[in-house]
């Protein structure tokens, strides 16, 4: 957002959880308490000329603020960060120039996709990044995409089944990446190597990131497959030359030897009379 010149602010310590996990777990009292407090805070900010838009990186918060907070008097223009970033790309405020070579498969968050119909924005961002080859799990994508396993407050509950939902979803995404690995990953045309030879799973939800990262660990695949937010991949491609030049200059200055102090002429000592 800084790179795109966006005028923004954060609530800092005034920001509390939206209460989504409490409501999904059945604690309606706690949800109402959090929602009323957040609604009052946002209303105060609006009355002081701020909070024209609310950007959230969490689809759970996005869904709660957009669809459930109006019941508490908070009428907000809520935008998920993938929709917001796509708008910045359309306005040319962000320009992905640096290639991020490799195969990428995207996992649809339930609250972003099925609940709110946001399927295209994350994919359009990935398609705009030079070098990215976007692939989809066969059949299990978009509205048919499997949950990561964190929904319904399951994020904080140990599954009692042997076959974890996060493991099932991870395997579907791994299958998509393995469909044609030699052509897209490993060594490419100019001989460059990738940190994750099988590719990257992209998401736009911190809950999904956690669950799928656990899924990769359960398959001993965390060294072969990366797990990144869509925004992180875009950031890699939008890194401007000025930033790189400043970093290189700072590194060179840090490594440069410290010059010796200039020699001083010896001063004649006074001899007491």
Do residues 47 and 122 both lie within one domain?
Answer: no
pLDDT computed for residue 221 by the predictor? 93
The answer on 139 and 191 residing in a single domain is: yes
> Residue 190 — very low, low, confident or very high, per pLDDT cuts 50/70/90?
very low
Q: Is residue 111 part of a domain?
A: yes
- Together in a domain, 56 and 106: no
Q: What percent of the chain has pLDDT over 70?
A: 80
**Does 6 map to a domain?**
no
pLDDT of residue 163: 80
pLDDT at 262: 60
222 found inside a domain: yes
| Residues 78 and 126 both lie in one domain | no
Q: What is the pLDDT of residue 46?
A: 85
- Look up the CATH number of the domain holding residue 198: 3.40.50
Q: Is 223 exposed, middle or buried (0-12, 13-18, 19+ CB in 10 A)?
A: exposed
Average pLDDT over residues 52-70: 94
Q: What is the pTM of this model?
A: 0.80
183 lies in some domain:
yes
Residue ranges making up the domain that contains 23: 12-85
- Domain boundary residue among 85, 116, 146? 85
On whether residue 267 sits in a domain, the answer given is no
Residue 240 confidence (pLDDT): 67
Domain assignment present for 273: no
* Alpha-carbon gap, residue 125 to 106, rounded angstroms: 11
User: Are residue 150 and residue 220 in the same domain, yes or no?
Assistant: yes
Pair type for strands 199-203 and 225-229: parallel
**By the 8 A CB rule, do 83 and 122 touch?**
no
Judge contact between 72 and 39, C-beta under 8 A: yes
Q: Is residue 64 part of a domain?
A: yes
Say whether both 79 and 136 belong to one domain: no
Q: Which helix (H) or strand (E) holds 63?
A: helix 59-67
Least confidently predicted of 10-24, 75-89, 176-190: 176-190
- What's the per-residue H, E or C state across 94-128? CCCCCCCCEEEEECCCCCCCCCCCCCHHHHHHHHH
Q: Do 101 and 234 have their domain in common? A: yes
**What distance in Å separates the CA atoms of residue 214 and residue 171, rounded to the nearest whole number?**
12
Q: Are residues 58 and 191 in the same domain?
A: no
Domain membership flag for residue 247: no
pLDDT band at 270 (very low <50, low <70, confident <90, very high): low
pLDDT number for residue 259: 59
When divided into structural domains, the chain yields a total of: 2
E-assigned strand segments in 52-109? 54-56, 78-80, 102-106
How far apart CA 187 and CA 38 sit, in angstroms, is 50
Residues 123, 177, single domain; the answer is: yes
Same structural domain, 189 and 116: yes
Q: How many residues does the chain have?
A: 273
* pLDDT per residue as tens digits for the range 231-263: 999 999 998 655 555 556 667 676 666 656 665
Residue 272 has pLDDT above 70, yes or no: no
Are 68 and 110 contained in the same domain? no
Query: Are 212 and 203 spatial neighbours (Cβ–Cβ below 8 Å)?
Result: yes
Q: Are residues 142 and 229 in the same domain?
A: yes
Q: Hey, which bits of the chain come out as E strands?
A: 54-56, 78-80, 102-106, 132-135, 199-203, 225-229
The CA distance from 47 to 54, in Å, is 15
Quote the pLDDT of residue 124.
97
């Amino acid at each position: 957002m800084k790179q795109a010149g966006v005028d923004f602010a954060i609530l800092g310590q005034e920001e509390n959880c939206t209460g989504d996990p409490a409501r999904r777990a059945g604690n309606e009292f706690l949800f109402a308490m959090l929602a009323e407090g957040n609604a009052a805070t946002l209303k105060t900010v609006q009355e002081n000329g701020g909070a024209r838009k609310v950007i959230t990186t969490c689809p759970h918060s996005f869904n709660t603020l957009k669809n459930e907070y109006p019941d508490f008097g908070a009428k907000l223009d809520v935008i998920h960060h993938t929709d917001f970033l796509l708008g910045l790309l359309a306005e040319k405020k962000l320009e992905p120039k640096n290639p991020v070579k490799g195969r990428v498969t995207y996992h649809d968050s339930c609250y972003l996709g099925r609940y709110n119909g946001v399927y295209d924005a994350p994919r359009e961002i990935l398609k705009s990044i030079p070098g990215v080859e976007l692939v989809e799990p066969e059949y299990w994508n978009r509205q048919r995409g499997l949950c990561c396993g964190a929904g319904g407050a399951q994020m904080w509950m140990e599954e009692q089944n042997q076959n974890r939902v996060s493991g099932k979803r991870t395997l579907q995404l791994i299958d998509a990446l393995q469909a044609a690995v030699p052509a897209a990953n490993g060594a490419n045309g100019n001989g460059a190597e990738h940190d994750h030879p099988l590719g990257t799973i992209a998401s736009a939800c911190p809950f999904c990131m956690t669950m799928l990262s656990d899924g990769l660990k359960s398959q001993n695949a965390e060294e072969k497959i990366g797990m990144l937010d869509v925004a992180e991949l875009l950031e890699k491609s939008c890194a401007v030359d000025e930033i790189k030049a400043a970093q290189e200059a700072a590194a060179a200055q840090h490594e440069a030897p410290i010059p010796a102090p200039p020699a001083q002429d010896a001063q004649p000592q006074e001899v007491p009379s």
